[in-house]
Amino acid sequence: MASLLLLAFMVGAVSLVAGGNLLYKAVINEATNRIRFDLNAAREIYQERIKTVHSLLAISASETSFRDAVRFYSIPDLMSRLETLSFYADMDFAGVVDGDGTIICKLGPAVDPANARRADNPMIRQVLERKVPVSGSVILDQAFLKSENPALANRARIRLSPHAGREKTGSDEETSGMAIVAAIPVFERGKLIGIVYGGTLLNRNENIVDTVRKTVFQHENYKGRNIGTATIFLNDIRIATNVLTQEGKRLLGTRVSPEVKTQVLDQGKSWVGRASVVNQWYRAAYEPIEDLCGSRIGMLYVGVLEAKYNDIRNKAFFIFALTTFVGMLAAVVVGYQLANRLIRPVENLIQASQEVSRGNFSPDIGPIAQDEMGHLQTTFQSMLQSLEERARRSQVESENRLLQSEKQASVGRLAAGVAHEINNPLTGVLTYTYMLLRRKDLSDDIRADLQTIATSTERVRQIVKGLLDFSRQTALNLEQSDINQVVGSAVSFVENQALLKGISITLREGDNLPQLTLDRSQIQSVLLNILINALDATETGGDILVSTGISLSGGTAGQKGVEISITDTGSGIPAHDLDKLFDPFFSTKEVGEGTGLGLSVSLGIVERHGGTIRVKSEMGNGSSFYVWIPVHQEDS
């Protein structure tokens, strides 16, 4: 039980660690993937802004009325058009220059004719050089901004955060502005007659970053804070962002980490990873922003508050841990149930079988279950019953055998005593009878009577000798013998008697019988005994069949042996006599005809050869005696 618990806990712990790890990786992966998509979306929004400026300016420039207004320097018309455009395109500055780049008109304060005759900004330079529309991101210096609108120049100024200013620059203020701009040339019969330009200053611009947040993160909240943030960098300085400081202000003027700066600004690659901004960890992604000439001038950033993912991860981990724990608990409960339903009955069965081996045939095997275990239990019980039955039977058998041998032993003792006592008077009877018979003066009838006494006494002597033989169990004189020869000579011994009685004796010798180690004369006397009994039991015209063959014994685990069967067609033996057949002094013959010792002595002889004698008989259908002798008998 303890090991089961331990196992359950170990499995739980391992799966918790492994699962937690997998979970963490999955969450990180998901966060990383998502932030990549978010960065793409942010870029699309950024590009869309540029496209909007470009499209609106281009559409305006393509109008004939606009071209005419440029051609004829109709400033009020142009001004009203620029105002409309700036409204729709959300432009912070816009203006029109002529084919030389001299300002015709622009939004904001009036042109200072002294130093603003030519508009000196990158997009106009580009259009003048290449004569094609341009749009994109640019850096605008303080002078240009001032010339466009002093308010813009002021907006562009961003004070660098002292503690975030990791890179020492001469100034503690960023004065340049980054902007998305477009400049569209206006042609009249193939000749450049003017350029219309406009753009949006990104410094302190909240619109783009907030649109990104709104579009991409859809105002997702985590504990009252927006989880998504977007930032636009001028070089490595935050100039537009919705990352807030602890005081709730937008985090401007701080720099990105050197690592990000190196990878994004110097090497031009995007950067995705974990970034700490104002003591908050973000899953962040950065990519470079290039200007019209392809130089990297800034970065676009989106970040998701990692706390949310941690939360998701923790929640998932908690659910996972809970599941594991519940599973473990279930495993323990199921294990306990299993122990109850399976292990306990099995243990009971084991104990029961141990008790059985100690001789207790009705051990407690516990309650019987309703399932396969119950089937096993009942099978075990019925096995026990048959075992008990067998044990009881074999006990009865061995008791019978014991009784038999006790009977034999007591008969032996009796025989010894009787023999000793009888043999002395017998000697007297024999001596006096034979001495009387020596006399010459006896009349014939007295001589005949004396002869009868002598014969009868000789018979008594034989009975007593048989008794003694039975009790003495004379040792076997073993030799290698051909059993067919032994049987053959026994049969030929009684053939004359059979012939006289009109009974046919058939001998069927088995082939290839092994040599047996036996006492020929004793086995022969056994066979003779049975044969004579058979002759006595069989009427004239009957048959006696004697056959030999190889046979396995039923007793000693299929030991190989030879069986001699003697079957007659005689009167048969009543069932109640079959049991007593081998008892000493049991005889079915008339008193005076048999000694009653024959079969018990025969059985003794065969048993001392390691064999058995079996009898099958049916009243009126004759009897069969089977003498079985093993091929290799144990040393006796």
Partner 1 sequence: MKVFVVDDEQVILNSCRLVLAAEGFDASFFDSADEALQALQHEVPTLIIVDIKMPGHDGFYFINEVRKMHGSIPVIAMSGYPTRKTIADSGASGATRFLEKPFTPNEFLDTIYKTMGKEQQNET
Q: How far is the CB of 456 from partner 1 (least distance, A)?
A: 13
List the one residue out of 124, 96, 120 whose CA is nearest residue 108: 96
Dihedrals φ, ψ of 471, to 5°?
-80, -30
Tokens of 149: 């609108």
**In this structure, which long-range contacts are made by residues 207-215, counting pairs with CB atoms below 8 Å and at least 24 apart in sequence?**
207/90, 208/45, 208/46, 208/49, 208/232, 208/240, 209/240, 209/241, 209/242, 210/242, 211/45, 212/41, 212/42, 212/45, 212/46, 212/302, 213/242, 215/41, 215/45
Q: Report the residue number, 31 or 464, with the smaller CB distance to partner 1.
A: 464
Does 472 bind partner 1 (CB under 8 A)? Our answer is yes
Does 159 bind partner 1 (CB under 8 A)? Our answer is no
Q: Report the residue number, 419 or 486, with the smaller CB distance to partner 1.
A: 419
Does 337 bind partner 1 (CB under 8 A)? Our answer is no
Question: What is the pattern of x (binds partner 1, CB under 8 A) and - over residues 436-465?
Answer: --x----------------------x--x-
Q: Which of 28, 50, 128, 468 binds partner 1 (CB under 8 A)?
A: 468
Question: What is the pattern of x (binds partner 1, CB under 8 A) and - over residues 475-504?
Answer: x-----------------------------
Q: Report the residue number, 182 or 419, with the smaller CB distance to partner 1.
A: 419
Q: Report the residue number, 110 or 435, with the smaller CB distance to partner 1.
A: 435
Does 424 bind partner 1 (CB under 8 A)? Our answer is yes
Q: How far is the CB of 403 from partner 1 (least distance, A)?
A: 24
Tokens of 497: 């008697």
Tokens of 232: 């636009």
Q: Which of 354, 394, 431, 636 binds partner 1 (CB under 8 A)?
A: 431
Q: Report the residue number, 285 or 467, with the smaller CB distance to partner 1.
A: 467
Question: How do beta strands 93-98 and 103-106 pair?
Answer: antiparallel
CA-to-CA distance for 582 and 597, rounded, in angstroms? 8
Q: Which of 425, 502, 514, 541 binds partner 1 (CB under 8 A)?
A: 425
Q: How far is the CB of 520 from partner 1 (least distance, A)?
A: 20
Which listed range, 70-78, 152-160, 195-203, 414-422, lies at the site for partner 1 (CB under 8 A)? 414-422
CA-to-CA distance for 107 and 104, rounded, in angstroms? 11
Which listed range, 7-15, 138-146, 419-427, 483-491, lies at the site for partner 1 (CB under 8 A)? 419-427
Dihedrals φ, ψ of 291, to 5°?
-90, -170
> Per residue, what are the HEC states of 99-156?
CCCEEEEECCCCCCCCCCCECCCHHHHHHHHHCCCEEEEEEECHHHHHHHCHHHHHHH
Q: How far is the CB of 412 from partner 1 (least distance, A)?
A: 10
CA-to-CA distance for 493 and 495, rounded, in angstroms? 6
Does 420 bind partner 1 (CB under 8 A)? Our answer is yes
CA-to-CA distance for 39 and 301, rounded, in angstroms? 7
Binders of partner 1 among 25-54, rule CB under 8 A?
A: none
Residue ranges that bind partner 1, judged by CB under 8 A: 416, 419-432, 434-435, 438, 461, 464, 468, 472, 474-475
